[in-house]
A = this chain, B = another copy of it.
Amino acid sequence: MRYPNNIIKENSMCLKNYKNRGMSLESMLNDSNKYYLEYDIAVIYKKPTPIKVLETKYKTGNKQEITKAFYEEKSTTDYNGIYKGIYIDFEAKETNNISMFPISNIHRHQIKHMEKIINHGGISFVIIKFNRLDKIYLLPSKILINLIKDNKKHIKIDYFKEKGYLIENKIKPKLDYLKIVDKLI
């Protein structure tokens, strides 16, 4: 699923100039993690979406089909793994907002999880894709947590420019976010 529905229609004429515009952040990250794994740089995976299965039936060939299930709320973040011996944990979000990221997009229990990861010696951050600006920023969770403690409801794009780290769009890997993690270690 390289070009999902959230492709920005009005800009489709310019796609060739913005090679990652319209590609979902998840696709870009999965692509990058695959690259890191292949080149033995890191072992980082997206956690599967938690689903509560209520009914199943058996198909021919004894294959079990799920016929009734519901999505459950995530208790942690989207991605985790190991890099340079360090536990890595992060959440990835997209926004169509052009001037700010609403903090409410990240759940309270996810923030608590990030705090725990930091306290136990792991590296925790968020990756935010501003779809309409074609910019992707990494922001350490520590900064996000402090903003929440200061009762902030949004993070302005200028704040990302100042305190966050712009992640370059490359070919291989698509998003070299571990280059930024190197600065946080």
Contacts and interface: CB of A to CB of B under 8 A. Distances in A.
Interface of A: 37, 40, 42-43, 45, 47-51, 53, 63-71, 75-76, 80-87, 89, 113, 116-117, 119-122
Given A51-B66, A70-B66, A122 B76 contact: no
Contacts of A66: 51, 66, 68-71
Q: Report the 6 A-B pairs with minimum CB-CB distance, sorted nearest first.
A: A85-B121, A66-B69, A48-B50, A82-B87, A87-B87, A48-B48
A19 to B, nearest CB: 28
Contacts of A42: 120
Residue among A43, A45, A75, A82 with the highest chain B CB neighbour number at 10 A: A82
Contacts of A70: 63-66
A169 B169 CA distance: 51
A76 B119 CA distance: 26
Nearest to A80: B80
B75 A121 contact: no
A2 to B, nearest CB: 18
Nearest to A119: B40
